[in-house]
A and B are shown apart, each in its own frame.
Chain A
Amino acid sequence: MSLYFKYLLILFKSQMQYRTSFWLLSIGQFFIPFSVFAGLYFLFERFGHIKGWDFFEVALCFAVIHMAFSLSECFARGFDTFSSLIIKGDFDRVLVRPRSTFLQVLGSKFEFTRIGRLLQSGIVLIWALNNLPIEWSFVKVVTLFFMITSGVFIFTGIYMLAATMCFWTVQGLEVANIFTDGGREMAQYPLNIYQKWVAQFFTYVIPFGTVNYLPLLFILGKTKGNELLYMLTPLAGSLFILPCIFVWQFGVRHYRSTGS
């Protein structure tokens, strides 16, 4: 873990060599989801609610998924841009170092400009929380925290799956965007506004539902049945990364036997 911070530090130093572009890109990252959020706001202004959810509840959904997304884009960027590591042949370098490939790939790149997006979603989060009549308790705060981390785990897991694909082919990788960008876009709204099959897919296969929809029911006091179950869903969702790590290791093994 301390090595991870060392990687973080050296790449932060590198980034600071290009300050102007860093600030411009960060500002861009602030405004891009901003326009999406503005669109969302205007829709609520016209329609009032979406299937029983009001604006601030959905804003909370939006904030949580965007925070998770920006954090994972910042800290798991190494997997997101893994194809360049393969194309340049730098993955060989990773293999001749006495550390796990997972740690080294994570440490190979960070995208600090996502601070802009994080800030934007942070503001939305605070705004939403201030306007929602939530009875706060320690457990709810912890749940909120786990919601964001589980989102990070899920996005990272998807990046890893796409990265593993690079061991076979670097073409058509954009498909992964369906689940990262697409997943983010979809999870801006509570999952139950979608058709059943969509909701099921994103609960049981790629568990975005566990990032915001299910635990939000608990936080907002909308649950029917066992509260504990809803509270724990983010933890269950985090487990998504385990099979991804397994698949990744399978990919590394394949790479070492074929060298492709």
Chain B
Amino acid sequence: MKVYASILKLRVLIGMQYRSAALAGVATQFFWGFISIMVFQAFYEHSSITPPISLQELITYIWLQQAFLAFIMLWFRDNELFDLITSGNIAYELCRPTDLYGFWYAKLLAQRLSSALLRFYPILLVAFFLPKPYNMTLPPDVTTFILFVITLLLGLLLLVAISMFLYISVFVTLSPMGSLLIFGVLGEFFAGLIIPIPLMPLWLQKIAYVLPFRWTADFPFRVYSGHIAQSDALIGVFIQLGYLLGLLWLGKLAFNSVLKRVVVQGG
């Protein structure tokens, strides 16, 4: 466990060095947030039907999405690991006295944490003080907030577990492009990053609810705004846990089997 903690610390320190990049990222995300909000606002304004999610809930959803982008983007990738796999230098990694799956998992987790730590608070802070209707609102009560934090963190752990499959697939395909494409495009869409899941047509919602992706973004963000009731959120936490354990177990299994192939091939 100590090893993992030190990886995390190192990553945060490295991430701190790219402050201006982070600042630029914050600015971009703000702009992005505004544009999305205005688009939805325009859609809502003359709508004859009552949408399944209120504009205020949607705005909160969008700001959370912008603030925690590093927690939810599947695109976010570590080229170092890809290089390790495709160049065959993975053999050196195998010499380390740690469990490689855990090691990589920690590394990826640390990258996302360090990236988000720099960005989320300025975005949230400003988003709270924006003029109406663009401002973000507080969660309805403390319990909801606690539930949000739990689901967000579980979502992050789940996302990293999903992203591990990306790296595992590269062992087989030897080129990250195809996997990134499938994971990126489909994963983001079904996580509700392009449009929130409640706004999708019903048949698509059904698919989205079966896949694990929505539990990383859509679920915690709607827990925050109270759109998902507390009792449902509690059930959701268990589903998240179930997915997490399942994917970790599967991931480790797949990882060990591709590693075995590397060893057999002699790197």
Direct contact of A and B (CB under 8 A): yes
Q: Is A102 an interface residue (CB 8 A)?
A: no
Interface positions of A from 156 to 174, Cβ below 8 Å from B: 171-174
Q: Is A189 an interface residue (CB 8 A)?
A: yes
Q: Is A129 an interface residue (CB 8 A)?
A: no
Q: Is the CB of A50 within 8 A of B42?
A: yes
Q: Is A249 an interface residue (CB 8 A)?
A: no
B144 → chain A closest CB, angstroms: 27
Interface of B is mostly: helix
If the complex has contacts A171-B20, A182-B35, are A24 and B199 also in contact, measured as CB distance less than 8 A?
Answer: no
Interface size on A, residues (CB 8 A): 39
Q: Is A45 an interface residue (CB 8 A)?
A: yes
Q: Is B46 an interface residue (CB 8 A)?
A: yes
Q: Is the CB of B42 within 8 A of A189?
A: yes
Give the residues in chain A near B34, CB-CB below 8 Å.
198
Q: Is the CB of A182 within 8 A of B28?
A: yes
Q: Is the CB of B51 within 8 A of A35?
A: no
Give the residues in chain B near A36, CB-CB below 8 Å.
194
Q: Is A48 an interface residue (CB 8 A)?
A: yes
Q: Is the CB of B181 within 8 A of A27?
A: yes
Give the residues in chain A near B24, CB-CB below 8 Å.
172-175, 177
Interface positions of A from 183 to 223, Cβ below 8 Å from B: 185-186, 189, 193-195, 198
The interface bits of chain A over 20-57 (1 if a CB of B lies within 8 angstroms of the residue's CB, else 0) are 11001101100110111011001101111111100000
A-B CB pair tally, cutoff 8 Å:
98
Q: Is the CB of A24 within 8 A of B195?
A: no
Give the residues in chain B near A27, CB-CB below 8 Å.
181
Q: Is the CB of B199 within 8 A of A42?
A: yes
Most buried by B among A35, A171, A198: A35
Range, interface on chain B: 35 or more
Q: Is B172 an interface residue (CB 8 A)?
A: no
Residue of B20, B28, B31, B194 near A35 (CB, 8 A) is B194
Most buried by B among A42, A46, A198: A46
If the complex has contacts A28-B181, A48-B48, are A178 and B189 also in contact, measured as CB distance less than 8 A?
Answer: no
B9 → chain A closest CB, angstroms: 24
Q: Is the CB of A46 within 8 A of B38?
A: no
Taken together as a complex, chains A and B put the C-alpha atoms of A48 and B46 apart, in Å, by 10
Interface residues of A (CB under 8 A from B): 20-21, 24-25, 27-28, 31-32, 34-36, 38-39, 42-43, 45-52, 171-175, 177-178, 181-182, 185-186, 189, 193-195, 198
Q: A42-B204, A47-B49, A182-B28 are in contact. List 13 more A-B contacts (CB 8 A).
A: A28-B181, A28-B185, A31-B181, A35-B194, A42-B195, A42-B201, A45-B201, A47-B51, A50-B39, A178-B27, A178-B31, A193-B39, A198-B38
Give the top 6 A-B pairs by smallest Cβ distance, nearest first: A174-B24, A193-B42, A39-B194, A172-B20, A24-B177, A39-B195
